[in-house]
């Protein structure tokens, strides 16, 4: 994946600021803001991994579950016409709307 790092199931963005001459990023796909920066690629990778570890340690210390990047559910805003079409399609097929969306995504993404 371009411009992303992965560690312990978490994804981190990779950006460069020419003005500040630093690489920086944040843990993506979670609500908590966890950012990091480094002076080169090697140091950015190191501080990203440290940021993930620190986040997990803080959650353990505070006795709260760390957010998972992908829980398996998300809200989709389709507009009323597409929502109606999908709901009627699901009803006609005897399946629920979640199944319609899942099958469409699997087909589109060739999973």
If residue 17 lies in a helix (H) or strand (E), which one and from where to where?
strand 15-17
**Domain map (residue ranges) of the chain:** 4-61, 80-109
Q: What angle do CA 11, 15, 17 make, to 5 degrees?
A: 155
> 25-47 pLDDT, tens per residue?
999 999 999 999 999 999 999 99
Say yes or no to pLDDT of 110 above 90.
no
CB 15 within 8 A of CB 24: yes
pTM for this structure? 0.79
- Residue range 82-108: average pLDDT? 95
Question: What is the full DSSP assignment across 26-41?
Answer: EEESSSS--EEEESSH
**Vertex 101, ends 95 and 102: CA angle to 5°?**
90
Q: Which pLDDT tens digit goes with each residue over 43-92?
A: 999 999 999 999 999 999 999 999 999 989 889 999 999 999 999 999 99
111 falls in which pLDDT band (50, 70, 90)? low
């Amino acid at each position: 994946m371009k411009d992303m790092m992965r560690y312990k199931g978490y994804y981190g963005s990779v950006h460069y600021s020419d003005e500040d001459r630093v690489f920086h990023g944040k843990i993506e796909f979670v609500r908590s803001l966890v950012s990091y920066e480094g002076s080169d690629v090697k140091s950015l990778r190191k501080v990203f991994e440290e940021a993930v570890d620190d986040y997990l340690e803080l959650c353990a210390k505070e006795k709260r579950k760390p957010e998972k990047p992908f829980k398996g559910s998300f809200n989709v805003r389709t507009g009323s016409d597409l929502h109606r079409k999908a709901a009627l399609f699901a009803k006609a097929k005897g399946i629920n709307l979640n199944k319609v969306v899942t099958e469409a995504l699997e087909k589109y993404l060739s999973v």
